[in-house]
Amino acid sequence: MVPPPAVEPAADRTVFLLAHTGRPAAIRSAELVVQGLLRSGIGVRVLAAEAADLPLPPAVERVDADCDVLDGCELLVVLGGDGTLLRGAEFARVSGVPMLGVNLGRVGFLAEAERDDLDKVVDRVVTRQYEVEERMTIDVLVRTDGHIVHTDWALNEASVEKAARERLLEVVTEVDNRPVSRFGGDGVVCATPTGSTAYAFSAGGPVVWPEVEALLMVPISAHALFAKPLVASPKSVLAVEVQPQTPHGVLWCDGRRTVELPAGARVEVRRGAVPVRLARLHHASFTDRLVAKFALPVAGWRGAPH
């Protein structure tokens, strides 16, 4: 890796590094990033539980995972695939620290850079040549018998799913306190625009540009004449009611956190009170990112006449 430009040592600058230690590529990438940052006088902090799996010099700070793990950090750099990036989002949201993702997986829509861009990543961090944008989240609550029994959040989606493969999950969907449709199926995805290219996309939902503020509701393999994806206002409240006579379901938030939904449970989804901040290195449009990530065929495009 090309050494970053020399800068004045900055002991008060600290970057938190989170890596998928189960990937050899992530371990090697972490080593390169740490070396580049330390050479530039920027402190590096990692989780103590992961430090043993990374080739780290003594100068790297090791901390336990708690709510203030990012205190004093200016940036969270995440090396890994979509799952690691979503794990990083949990730290970024609670702290307000921007997250810069380096994709070591397949698609990596949340990532801003690829493995071959590590030298550029270090250079941009050192010189603070990045911008920060906020991504909308969703707040999720579960009611049973009218009482709130669980609260959660998601950056991509909250999905209500069947728990048993052999049985359909009967649900009624609702938007702004009005029923929309009842159907049996595999479940329902409630997503943000950021999550429109994740699980909601796989379920047949629309791709929504990040700057469009909206809430998505996408049925999963529904057995119904009307079970279309819905795009609602960001001020709306979406709800999914698990019917009393159906087997219990499960709620998944970003595919990472789960809770059982007994028959009769109600899941409500609304715009999140706290966004996730993402660091951006490029000014490329989301359209270009979409074409690149999905390798979409655009041969023959001529563009608007000049």
40 annotated to bind ligand: no
156 annotated to bind ligand: yes
Neighbours of 68 (CB within 10 A): 9
202 annotated to bind ligand: yes
200 annotated to bind ligand: yes
224 annotated to bind ligand: no
Output the furthest CA–CA distance in the chain (Å, rounded).
Answer: 67
119 annotated to bind ligand: no
The full DSSP string for 95-154 is H---EEEEE-SS--TT-SEEGGGHHHHHHHHHTT--EEEEE--EEEEEEETTEEEEEEEE
The angle formed by the CA atoms of residues 8, 9 and 12, to the nearest 5 degrees, is 125
268 annotated to bind ligand: no
The full DSSP string for 200-234 is HHHTTPPP--TTS--EEEEEES-BSS----EEE-T
167 annotated to bind ligand: yes
Look up 71 and say whether it is catalytic: no
Q: Are strands 178-185 and 169-175 parallel, antiparallel or unpaired?
A: antiparallel
124 annotated to bind ligand: no
The alpha carbon of residue 281 and the mean position of all alpha carbons in its chain are separated, in whole angstroms, by: 18
CA within 13 Å, CB half, 252: 15
137 annotated to bind ligand: no
* Candidate list 82, 123, 152, 254, residue with the active-site label: 82
83 annotated to bind ligand: yes
Catalytic (active-site) positions = 82
Binding-site residue positions for NAD(+): 82-83, 87, 156-157, 167, 186, 197-202
Binding-site residue positions: 82-83, 87, 156-157, 167, 186, 197-202
